[in-house]
Structure 1
Amino acid sequence: MSTPTPKQRPANPSMLQHTLLVAEREVTTQVRSKAFIISTVVMLVLILAAIVVSSVFGDRFGSDPKVAVVPATAELVAGLDGIDPVDAADDAAARQLVEDEEVSAALLPDPDGDDNPLGVVVVAKESAPDTVVSALAVAPPVELLDEPTTSEGLRYVVALGFGLVFMFASLTFGSTIAQNTVQEKQSRIVEILLSAVPPRALLAGKVIGNSILAFGQTAAIAAVAVIGLVVTGQDDTLGLIGAPVAWFVLFFVVGFVLLAAMFAAAASLVSRTEDTGAVLTPVMYLVMIPYFLVIFFNSNETVLAVMSYVPFSAPVGMPVRLFLGTAAWWEPLLSLVILALSAWGVTAIGARIYERSVLRTGRRVKLREALRG
């Protein structure tokens, strides 16, 4: 009589499998949320609309004024910056173009030009066109010792964009991690989760899952911005920001891991949602400070240089420096290494805090107690 062979017990999942399982849970939960989908779509539409509107108004208000010229005055404005000449057969035709508002002004010979050094008169309909008069004014040539590489307006917009995207995405997904952590402690669901998943795997899964979501959203923003610039014909701007945007996405991924570990560790210290403000405020300050620094000091090379090597501000400071062309080729690599090492160290400390405080309910756990165990 044969004895039945005992059934083999299934192998325990590894740390990596536990982590990926939690990460998959975090991603699927957010992706299935209507609020997340709607907010993401609305944000992408607003970004695309902003690019299109800026292009339309830029073409409308940034183009040179049209000026009607006759054969006698055509050579005077040939190659002159700030004027778009429109040929007219004679004085009457040029005046008619002004009357019909097809041009801003007309440049005609002055019949009484004895006291007029230029020998021409500007004809307008209701008011003197200051742009045309300024373009015709005689001014000495200007020599700049340092030619500007980018305009003040574009530099401010790019700095604002990097700072705003970093702050918005970090606060959105960081707050999600913190909120889920506190809710799991408050509802005692974390006890069930930790009966099947180690604490470090639970923390790592939360960080990885939300990092994937943050990276996907940031990459979508970058893709929409590129599409908007291509569609609106702003290829020059795209050429300037293409490489800095790619570096920004890379820096953001590593930087968010650092911040996500801090959000989760800080939230694990409390057991009630109303207590999260006190523990999350320092982390939120670290997220918002780079935004304000890059807005107020986007023209200060010293401040930007310091920002590009501080882990919390490097995801904003270094891409801005790359856009301005003030960073050497090796600087983003060095900054990224510093950021990665910092993220590894902060994640290790955050895992220690999370592991020692996530099961402690009741009063708020002090940071010193969590570190000492």
Structure 2
Amino acid sequence: MTSTLQSTTSPAGGNGPSTPNLGQSVWLVAEREIIARVRSKAFLISTGLMLVAVLAAVIIGGALSQRQSTTTVAVAAVGPAAAELAHVPNVTVKSVPDRDAAEKLINDGTVDAAVISDSGNPTGFKIIADDSAPDNLVAALSISPSVELLNPNATPPGVRYLAALGFGLLFFISATTFGGTIAQSVVEEKQTRIVEILLSTIPARVLLTGKIVGNSLLAFGQVVLIGACAVIGMTVTGNNELLSALGAPLAWFVVFFVIGFVLLAALFAAAASLVSRQEDVQSTVAPVTMLVMIPYFLVIFFNNNDLVVTIMSYVPFSAAVGMPLRIFLSEAAWWEPLLSLLILVASTVVVILVAARIYRNALLRTGSRVSLREALHTSRS
């Protein structure tokens, strides 16, 4: 990359190579990060497998949710109630002359249950089955009280959990994957002394910015691809209602994720700059990894706790998970995503400034691990 920087075309009339401007330098570093990652077979294979898994999970899950079993019922002449079974969804009616014929069909497995006359029952009929009566048949022939729902548009618990799991898992996988890539790249450059060559050509802040930009673009691209696979899967299975409900939450998730990942990427780079050996990377980035894991576990275990999810939607490290979930559940006012986004942007700016100082002061220090105090207070040109 150094030779690339030095061979930038000179201005018209110039005889020698020109120094690239800030934007060009940042893009050269970002391009180097992207190319190195895209050329990795492990990255390409893992990304491909992830996309296939997401697509398969959505399609299979949608197919199973739409799959409905059919209950076959033998019916003797039991009055008007028997005629109603013909209109019950997923119930197939088979007429029989008497109870003996019905029991024979139950015993040989031809039917799941039977409805016969019973003068001693207030309803005038009863259900007979082998070891258990089909729930849908019992429900269809039961006398149910009238029901009034105070919150008819509430999201079912199962859908709520799946949405929470989806947002949490997507954030967790992408942030840890590309955050770890940044950390390993920083330590590798320190360990091989390549960073000394790079810093002779470009400032540390440019190197840091390029790494963040390159990996952020990769993470953004992966999130978009995963989202596209989910959309394709829901379209194939005909889950148009769910797809429509996820439209706005997914858009907000992408916005929050992009900014939130920049914040985390800066922390991963700063933490990794404190050490000079690959063996020490995991321990030094562990606190940052915890910041990524906490939102994931919170949204899994407390997705039905409105207070916890609300707090998560305003905390910078978990806003990318909490706020889209609240938007999906229609629990966030129109101004809340904007306020949360403003807090996230302000926090990201502060974190980048602090991380840049740590990165600049610790990058050229090899050997023993640099303490956080030293990195914050040591001044380097």
**Normalization by structure 1: what TM-score?**
0.89
Match of 1:8 among 1, 10, 15: 15
Q: Say yes or no: does 1:105 pair with 2:113.
A: yes
Q: Is the deviation greater in 95-104 or in 202-211?
A: 95-104
Separation in structure 1 between the aligned mates of residue 108 and residue 203 of structure 2, nearest angstrom:
78
- Tell whether the 8 Å contact from 1:51 to 1:225 is kept in structure 2 after alignment: yes
Change (3 A) 1:50 1:138: same
Q: Say yes or no: does 1:209 pair with 2:217.
A: no
Q: Equivalent residue of 1:114, what SS? A: coil
| 1:253 corresponds to | 258
Q: Per-residue deviation at 1:55?
A: 2.5
Structure 2, unpaired ranges of 5+:
1-12
Match of 2:34 among 18, 27, 32: 27
- Tell whether the 8 Å contact from 2:245 to 2:328 is kept in structure 1 after alignment: yes
Q: Equivalent residue of 2:92, what SS? A: strand
Match of 1:42 among 32, 44, 49: 49
- Tell whether the 8 Å contact from 1:184 to 1:190 is kept in structure 2 after alignment: yes
Q: Per-residue deviation at 1:370?
A: 1.4
Change (3 A) 1:229 1:68: farther
Match of 2:321 among 316, 322, 326: 316
> Which amino acid is the alignment partner of residue 52 of structure 1?
I
Q: Per-residue deviation at 1:143?
A: 2.7
Separation in structure 2 between the aligned mates of residue 68 and residue 137 of structure 1, nearest angstrom:
17
> Which amino acid is the alignment partner of residue 138 of structure 2?
V
Q: Equivalent residue of 2:123, what SS? A: coil
Identical aligned residues as a percent: 55
Change (3 A) 1:209 1:102: farther
Q: Say yes or no: does 1:228 pair with 2:233.
A: yes
Deviations 1:318-349, CA, capped at 9 Å, x for gaps: 01101111001111122112111211221121
Q: Say yes or no: does 1:51 pair with 2:58.
A: yes
Q: Equivalent residue of 2:299, what SS? A: helix
Q: Say yes or no: does 1:343 pair with 2:348.
A: yes
Q: Is the deviation greater in 212-221 or in 360-369?
A: 360-369
| 1:3 corresponds to | none
Q: Is the deviation greater in 183-192 or in 336-345?
A: 336-345
| 1:302 corresponds to | 307
Deviations 1:205-243, CA, capped at 9 Å, x for gaps: 000000000000011111100100110112222122222
Change (3 A) 1:345 1:87: same
> Which amino acid is the alignment partner of residue 283 of structure 1?
V
Separation in structure 1 between the aligned mates of residue 375 and residue 348 of structure 2, nearest angstrom:
19
| 2:168 corresponds to | 163
Separation in structure 2 between the aligned mates of residue 241 and residue 107 of structure 1, nearest angstrom:
43
Q: Per-residue deviation at 1:155?
A: 0.6
Separation in structure 2 between the aligned mates of residue 370 and residue 175 of structure 1, nearest angstrom:
21
Separation in structure 2 between the aligned mates of residue 172 and residue 319 of structure 1, nearest angstrom:
21
**Normalization by structure 2: what TM-score?**
0.87
How do residues 50-129 of structure 1 correspond to structure 2 at under 5 angstroms? 50-60=57-67, 65=71, 67=73, 72=79, 73-77=81-85, 83-86=89-92, 88=94, 91=97, 104-108=112-116, 110=117, 113-124=118-129, 127-129=132-134
Deviations 1:83-118, CA, capped at 9 Å, x for gaps: 5343556658x959868867643444x1xx321211
Q: Equivalent residue of 1:277, what SS? A: helix
- Tell whether the 8 Å contact from 1:69 to 1:85 is kept in structure 2 after alignment: no
Change (3 A) 1:248 1:68: farther
Q: Is the deviation greater in 99-108 or in 150-159?
A: 99-108
| 1:357 corresponds to | 362
Q: Per-residue deviation at 1:274?
A: 1.6
> Which amino acid is the alignment partner of residue 251 of structure 1?
F
Change (3 A) 1:126 1:192: same
- When the two chains are superposed, the root-mean-square deviation of aligned CA atoms in Å is 2.5
Change (3 A) 1:194 1:362: same
Q: Per-residue deviation at 1:58?
A: 2.4
Change (3 A) 1:55 1:105: farther
Separation in structure 2 between the aligned mates of residue 228 and residue 99 of structure 1, nearest angstrom:
41
Q: Is the deviation greater in 187-196 or in 71-80?
A: 71-80
